[in-house]
Structure 1
Amino acid sequence: MEHYALFVLMSILLIILPGPDTGVVTQNTVFHGRSGGMKTVLGSTSGLLIHTLAVVCGISAILVKSAFLFSIIKYVGAVYLLYLGITSLWSLRNQKTAAVEQPDAKHQNKSPFLQGFLTNVLNPKVAVFFLTFLPQFVTPGSYAFLQFLALGLTYTLLTVAWFFLYVRFIDRLRAWMKKASTQRAIQGITGLALVAFGVTLALEKRP
């Protein structure tokens, strides 16, 4: 592999940039605590592993070249992000005193792991990113399969490490963040962010 240290540095900078994963992890950490946040992270990183294997097997290349497949996955992912965002915003209208006192009740049947997984695996932009980013650090003709796999696993582990720290930080503020006014603000912000990400994904043009 070429310039592995540079790959790690660039990966860290890209990982800490807020994206759909950040919104979902934040929301689930607030409502489910550290356990819910980490389950979301594990779901998200499982999606990264799927994208890594897709790159290794050449599936991502097919996805990028096929306008039809790209559009299908893009719109399904966009609809899912819009669903999460609108659900979060809609719950603000239906929020009552009892729900504020026990905010986890309305979220207890939702799977943080599945939310994290679907948010990531249904985002074709991640597939395109992996397909264009990883090859820049691969030495041509020298165990390309293992190199792609190592880079993908490195990116996944760095993602887990960053979100582990992020979840711990959010969890420490949980008592303050679960106040009624703060909770409404978080729901509103994350809801709007997820809707924005969904709209952006829907309007994304095939590379």
Structure 2
Amino acid sequence: MKTGRVDLVTVPFVLTCLAVVLAPGPSLAVILDQALRVGRSAGLATIAGNTTGLVFWAGASVLGLTALIRTSEVAFVVLKVVGAAYLCWLGIQSLRRSRRAPAAEPGTGAPARGLFSAYRAGFLANVSNPKAAALYLALLPQFIPASGDVLTGTAVLAGVQMLISASWYAVVVLAVAAVRRVLDQPRVRALLDQLSGLVLVAMGLRLVTLSRAAA
């Protein structure tokens, strides 16, 4: 069996990556929250943070850290509790915003501090998600031949997965930006904050009940 870089990226691998990224999860919820509340730039910054989180998990996979999370009950519980707490905190913040009078915000831009906050939100949502760890432990190794180089194989497959992930989320952010003027009305914004808050809290509660078998 050939182990070249091109041979690693098979149709089944691409389809699997698409299925994973299209499934709603914490990353999508946080990206949508930032794109709806702040704008396109913040949404794209959140995608960058999420992708950095994937880089972290790819490196952890090579070092064997994701295997520790997969096999250690303590590590898994700590990670999912931290992730759940962070999502619930974001959700509560969104719910609190929905009760306040909306302040004027720029249409599609955001100050540098706001972009960093969005980037950080995307990064933290990803690195505190045990499903992201399981993705790089359970998914990538299946597509690396036994005789292949693990480091090269992980780098190639992770790069493709990150490209698919970032591309899909960018489409979502651009779609939100296209209709944001309609969504920017005070009553609509308050409703969206409420909906976003409830979704984030629900995902946080769902994450804390996640079992290792489901990850």
Asked if these proteins are the same fold (TM beyond 0.5), I'd say yes
Q: Distance in 2 between matches of 1:125 and 1:89?
A: 26
1:177 to 159, 177, 183: 183
Does residue 138 of structure 1 match 2:147?
no
Aligned-residue CA RMSD (Å)? 1.8
Match in the other structure for 2:10:
4
2:167 to 146, 158, 161: 161
Match in the other structure for 2:28:
22
Offset, 1:185: 2.0
Matches within 5 A, 1:1-207: 1=7, 4-93=10-99, 95-96=100-101, 99-100=102-103, 102-103=104-105, 110=114, 111-207=117-213
Residues 24-49 of structure 1: CA deviation (Å, up to 9, x unaligned):
11121123221111000000111011
**Structure 1: 5+ residue stretches without partners:** none
The TM-score, its normalising length taken from structure 2, stands at 0.87
**Structure 2: 5+ residue stretches without partners:** 1-6
Offset, 1:7: 0.6
Task: Give the share of equivalent positions with the same residue, in percent.
Answer: 31
Paired positions, count: 201
Q: Distance in 2 between matches of 1:22 and 1:68?
A: 27
Contact 1:34-1:167 within 8 A present in 2 as well: yes
Letter in 2 for 1:162: W
Q: Distance in 2 between matches of 1:23 and 1:64?
A: 24
Q: Distance in 2 between matches of 1:190 and 1:112?
A: 15
Q: Distance in 2 between matches of 1:14 and 1:128?
A: 12
The TM-score, its normalising length taken from structure 1, stands at 0.90
User: Which ranges of 4 or more aligned residues in structure 1 deviate by more than 4 Å?
Assistant: 107-110
For 1:54, what is the secondary structure of its paired residue? Answer: helix
For 1:126, what is the secondary structure of its paired residue? Answer: helix
Q: Distance in 1 between matches of 2:42 and 2:130?
A: 25
Contact 2:57-2:127 within 8 A present in 1 as well: yes
